[in-house]
Structure 1
Amino acid sequence: MRKINEIVVHCTATQPDFMPGASTAGRVGEVKRWHVQINKWSDTGYHYLVDRDGTVAEGRPLERIGAHVARHNTGTIGIALFGGHGSAETDAFADHFTPEQDAALRTLIADLEARFGDLKISGHNEYAAKACPGFQVARWLGHGPAAKPAPEDQDEATAATIYRWRLAEIRDLAMRALAGE
């Protein structure tokens, strides 16, 4: 297995209703088609893709270097969220993505960190003049201003997302404790 030190978050820049009625596998197949037929890559550039309903699908095998950030693919895992069309890097996560994607992405990151240790988590827009993934990853993770709303400002979906995020944090701490860290 190659050494992993970072996760880079992306978006597919697709509309919320991209390929209505298609399965996650069908949408992933379309992204792969773009990457193989149009970009002339050997496979989809991302290692994981997160669908609007929170389904996580595998793309390129983790053993292989991705094709998702020019000059920053070695040692990284690329994760793309379906959606993000028309986004700006200053937008909030919830402007373009679902609570299910939020929970799934946080869980996937926690699972990958349990497997590979502490990882830098960044957005594509930190390496290129692009909006992708359509939000500031550090702020979304809770490292920036106004990352977590006050309890009285939370709607039910936000509260549920924060609850799932905290469960992922607790699971991560438990995994580290079991590993003797």
Structure 2
Amino acid sequence: APTPSESETIADLKERIAELEFQLAVARKQLANGSGDSAPVTSPAPTAPAVPPPAIENIVAQLPHHPTVQYPTRTVSEIKMVVVHHTGVSPTITAREIAEFRVQKNNWAGIGFHFLVLPDGTIQQTNELTTVSRHAGDQNRESVGVSFAGNFNTGSPTAQQIAQGGHLIAWLLRTLNLSIGAMVGHKAIASTPCPGTQWDSGSRWQNSLRQAVNRWLSGSAQPTVPATDTTPVQPPPSSAKTIFHYLLLGSATDQSLATNYIAKFQPTVGTDAGQAQQARYVTIVGSTVSAATEQKLRAAGCNVERVAGNSPLAIRALLDNMARTGRRFLTFQGV
């Protein structure tokens, strides 16, 4: 008779086999009917229209993180799919509460997904794209997790969530050079009901989301102002900016992380957020610069992106890769 430890190993293997059988059955069904989630495809049409970035609130630095456990990092070129989730709880449960639970109860490094889409359409970034977080099992390293706030076993996302989530996913697909086939529901790659039973039955909200994504990919969609934003800030014309590109550092010592990047692109470099407001494009290095400062830059009409990672080494590696590939920005195309 097997020992207790052997029995546990056998049980684990049986569980893994069951999971693989489920995934194989899903794949066979998809191949048979030619619908639903499919394997990622990474070759969009060469003349595809650009997708402008949606409004994203970066709250990565504001969320709880484990004091000793860290997520690994990657380059954005490793990302091959976008995985759709639901939080599975009331939409009033915040990203902070989810992160606290993962850190304190599950001993995770931080929150699992990369983006959270709220019922009013607000998009929050909860992990950097270079972070290999926990949301898709064996596919963590090559995927980005986009979660919709709410439990969609009975209901469906709001119209604002579908619209803004579709914009976000389309922008990710275009930025990462992926096609619509790279968007999959969590249940397509793991034995889980996520993103809810209504994803592929009942209201089948995956269809509404795919339509929203396709509108952006085809160039027929237009940016919308979230319903809660009744007084949008009107940025000054780009001609009013006296600096083309400002590299905003949290401290002077951060400059060593961007040596190759600076040599390649020759941006204005400094730690002065006031001076950065005079730039058409601002690249924030790391997580030291506050979200409030980032918001002020956007309000001043700057095009802002943040290059961050779980460690200085990860930030340097990402900036070096951008310099090596001639990619000044991760999110702004044609610049």
Same fold (TM over 0.5): yes
TM-score, with length taken from structure 1? 0.68
Amino acid at match of 1:116: L
Q: Which runs of 5+ in 2 are unaligned?
A: 1-74, 222-332
| 3-state DSSP of counterpart to 1:9 | strand
Q: 1:7 aligns with which of 82, 104, 113?
A: 82
- How far residue 140 of structure 1 moved from its aligned partner, in angstroms, is 4.6
Q: Root-mean-square deviation (CA), in Å?
A: 2.9
User: Does 2:166 align with 1:102?
Assistant: no
TM-score, with length taken from structure 2? 0.38
User: Does 2:141 align with 1:74?
Assistant: yes
Residues 38 and 171 (structure 1), Cα distance of their counterparts in 2 relative to 1, 3 Å cut: farther
Contact 2:112 2:134 in 1 (8 A): yes
- Between the aligned partners of 2:193 and 2:104, the Cα distance in structure 1 is 24
Q: 1:37 aligns with which of 78, 98, 104?
A: 104
For these two proteins, the number of residue pairs brought into alignment is 142
- Between the aligned partners of 1:61 and 1:111, the Cα distance in structure 2 is 15
User: Does 2:216 align with 1:168?
Assistant: yes
Q: How does 1:17-56 map to 2 (within 5 A)?
A: 18-19=92-93, 27-56=94-123
| 3-state DSSP of counterpart to 2:138 | coil
Percent sequence identity over matched residues?
27
Q: Which runs of 5+ in 1 are unaligned?
A: 20-26, 89-94, 149-160
- Between the aligned partners of 1:172 and 1:124, the Cα distance in structure 2 is 27
Contact 2:156 2:205 in 1 (8 A): no
Residues 136 and 35 (structure 1), Cα distance of their counterparts in 2 relative to 1, 3 Å cut: same
| 3-state DSSP of counterpart to 1:71 | helix
Q: 2:184 aligns with which of 122, 142, 145?
A: 122
Residues 66 and 136 (structure 1), Cα distance of their counterparts in 2 relative to 1, 3 Å cut: farther
- Between the aligned partners of 2:176 and 2:220, the Cα distance in structure 1 is 12
Amino acid at match of 2:191: A
User: Does 2:123 align with 1:61?
Assistant: no
- Between the aligned partners of 1:47 and 1:84, the Cα distance in structure 2 is 18
| Higher relative contact order, chain-length normalized (CA < 8 Å, sep 6+) | 1
Give the structure 2 partner of residue 136 of structure 1: 200
Give the structure 2 partner of residue 154 of structure 1: none
Contact 2:116 2:146 in 1 (8 A): yes
Please identify, of 120-129 and 4-13, the stretch whose mean Cα deviation from structure 2 is larger.
Answer: 120-129
